[in-house]
Amino acid sequence: MSLAFGILGFLNYGPMSGYDLVKSFESSLQFFWHAQSSHIYLELKKLENKGYISGETVIQSDRPNKKVFSITETGKRAFMDWLAQGAGEDATQFKSAFLMKIFFGGNMPPDQSAEMLRRFKTDCEAYLEKMDAAPESIKYYGSNKEIYQIMYWQFTVEFGHCFIQTCIEWAERCIQKLETLNGQTEKEE
């Protein structure tokens, strides 16, 4: 249901098409809430059926027609109730297939585990570079928002940056330990 509230949150800022919502998720929430475009469009239908949003077809001459969605009063109430509930889920609980592989990594040679961690570190570094675009994105989308609203966006960017930086540092420590372990194993042979 959180995807629905993410959509309602964006529409609470103003009307958007499905395409606009997909781009908004990609440019802002992707770090902590990945949403495929097909899921967003499916959720839009559900929200419209519940009366939380309404859609209006916009006729375009140079492009295909598009449907622009707006949040309804019922949708605003549901969204505000959801916000007021607080965390709801345990914020310390998350699923990671990667960490499960690390947990069971003792079943493969240390150099193979180290290589997996190197790829993870490289992916994190690339993601950190992508996050460099976040301030520009906040500036673009926040141009007609209140300063206090933008501040909350910045909170999540700061969290993301700190989280990814911590992942990089953790991976470096793990790689170093595995390389040390691998060196000791080679000496014993």
pLDDT digits (tens, 9 = 90+) for 146-180: 888 889 888 988 998 999 999 999 999 999 999 98
Q: How confident is the model at residue 29 (pLDDT cuts 50, 70, 90)?
A: confident
Distance CA 58, CA 48 (A): 17
Alpha helices in the chain (DSSP H): 2-13, 18-24, 37-50, 73-84, 97-103, 110-131, 134-141, 147-188
What is the rounded end-to-end Cα distance, in angstroms, of the chain? 55
Is the pLDDT confidence value at 188 over 70? Answer: no
Residue (of 187, 174, 40, 41) closest to 111 by Cα position: 174
Check residue 187 and give its pLDDT. 55
> Closest Cα to residue 32, out of 71, 11, 4, 6?
6
Q: Average of pLDDT values for 91-115?
A: 85
Tell whether the model's pLDDT for residue 16 goes beyond 70: yes
